[in-house]
Amino acid sequence: MLLIRYLCFLLVSLSLTACVNLVPKAAEEIESAQTVKSPLDGIWQGTFDINGRGNYDFTALHIQGRSTAVSVKAKAMCRGRVELQEEQYYMARYELFALDGAPFDQATITGTVDQQAIRSHFITMNGGDIGAINLDYNPLYERKPELAELDGHWLFIDRDGLETKMSISNGQIVGVDSDGCGYQGTLAIINPQYNLFDVVLNVSSCDSVNGEYIGLAYFEPGKKPLVHIDALNNLYGFHYQLQRVSASEITASR
């Protein structure tokens, strides 16, 4: 009888020890999975040419195979998928949009990637345009994101003088532009180690561009902090380079 009791006690003790040891390990594995960075993930910035003409600016945001990109000088933006093949070959398939406008073409980009640079070429499907895109990794991606840093009032004035005013609080966006379009949406941290946010933006009172837009954003600190937002759907794409302003500056701009 004593032997049976001892064996039962030993089995229970071993089971409890195993459970205790498993909990920290599981937590570590989850945390590690959340912070894994693909070689393509990041903020990539550089230039490209079109049929030998350029250089045009280009900023691409990559995370988990998703991508948005924008060129202010070329008045174009993109959304699509990127992938790494054989640990060094880069491929992207993009839908091309006019900047703050509708889709007009598709493009395939192929090239090579290392930890700090992407060297590639593209061809557009309909226009048959070709060119080279050279991008460098921006370590700003490795700045840990905090929603509190985005709290406040923000203003963007586009190339045509359209003013967009947004207020952000705990990731919630409310805004309006000088054409009377309304904006509501959210910014959400994707990975607590890296400076990219998921964006969902709902546009209203804006005629043909009403609807939900999805994309990516990042925060750029500095004397005049910026929030860069790319938000697109099947019909239209928006790019915002929001600059932090005071409440009085928002009121004065009305």
Residue 50: phi, psi to the nearest 5? -125, 115
Q: Is 100 helix (H, G, I), strand (E, B) or coil?
A: coil
d(CA 23, CA 19): 7
Ordered by where they begin, the domains of the chain are: 42-141 (2.40.128.380), 143-252 (2.40.128)
Cβ atoms within 10 A of the Cβ of 252, count?
Answer: 9
Residue 170: phi, psi to the nearest 5? 50, 40
Q: Quick one: pLDDT at residue 247?
A: 78
Residue 47, C-beta contacts closer than 8 angstroms, at least 6 positions apart: 54, 55, 56, 57, 58, 133, 134
In sequence order, what E strands does 38-129 have?
42-50, 53-63, 66-71, 76-85, 89-98, 103-113, 117-124
Mean pLDDT, 10 residues at a time, the chain of 254 residues:
43 41 43 68 98 95 98 97 94 97 98 94 97 98 97 96 97 98 98 98 96 98 96 97 85 58
CB burial string 94-126: b at 16+ within 10 A, e below = bbbbebbeebebbbebebebeeeebebebebee
User: pTM for this one?
Assistant: 0.85
